[in-house]
Structures are given as C-alpha cells and as structure tokens.
C-alpha cells in the first residue's frame, strides 16, 4: 500500500495575514527570496556567520509579519550555523525554498 501523495509537494500553504500588512508583505517575501540566494552562496563559501545573522533576523521578523514558519526556519538556520551543521543548513534552505514557492497569502480584515 502506498501512502504518499505525489501532488503533496505542490499544495499551496495558505497563511492568513492581517490586511493592514498588505503593503509590506510582498517586500518581506521578496527579501526572503534574496536571502535564499545569499544563503546558497554563503554555503558554497563556508560563510556560516552570515547565515547565522540572516537566520536570527528571520526568526525575529517572521512572526511580526504573520509568518511563524519563517521564524521557525530562521531559528533552525541560526542554530545549524552555530553548530556548523551543514546538512541541517541544506535541509532548512530546502524548507525555506519550498515554503516561499508554495505560500499563498490570505488577507483577513
């Protein structure tokens, strides 16, 4: 018996955001896309300090914008960078990439 769903990876991840943040959320998400590129190049260069700082910032900012998942990933990136755990860093990078590709903003009033 197979339990996996091949379409699962394409499912949208709806995130409810207060409509008062509508003007700033696209910029926030665009900055996280930029962080992805930065983290990838930092991994190649072994610059874990920059990844740690980016993770720390994501951890702090995510929840304020309504993206608890970004806070969680940021925290894990920060921890993995401090522990020099490259496989965990790659996992979190994949998680962030996946989240950003699938997130669907639902503005609520």
The 10s digit of each residue's pLDDT in 57-103 is: 999 999 999 999 999 999 999 999 999 999 999 999 999 999 999 99
State the Cα–Cα distance between residues 18 and 95, nearest whole angstrom: 24
Strand partners, 17: 107
d(CA 39, CA 20): 30
Distance CA 65, CA 28 (A): 8
Q: What length does the chain have?
A: 109
What residue spans define the domains of the chain? 22-108
Q: Coil, strand or helix: which one is 46?
A: coil
What is the helix (H) or strand (E) element at residue 25, kind and residue range?
A: helix 25-45
Q: Calculate the average pLDDT of the chain.
A: 92
């Amino acid at each position: 018996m197979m339990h996996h769903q091949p379409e699962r990876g394409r499912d949208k991840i709806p995130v409810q955001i207060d409509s008062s943040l509508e003007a700033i959320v696209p910029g926030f998400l665009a900055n996280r896309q930029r962080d992805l590129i930065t983290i990838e190049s930092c991994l190649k260069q072994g610059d874990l300090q920059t990844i740690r700082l980016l993770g720390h910032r994501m951890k702090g900012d995510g929840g304020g914008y309504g993206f608890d998942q970004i806070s969680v990933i940021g925290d894990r990136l920060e921890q993995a960078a401090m522990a020099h755990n490259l496989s965990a860093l790659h996992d979190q990078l994949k998680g962030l990439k996946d989240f950003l590709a699938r997130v669907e903003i639902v503005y609520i009033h």
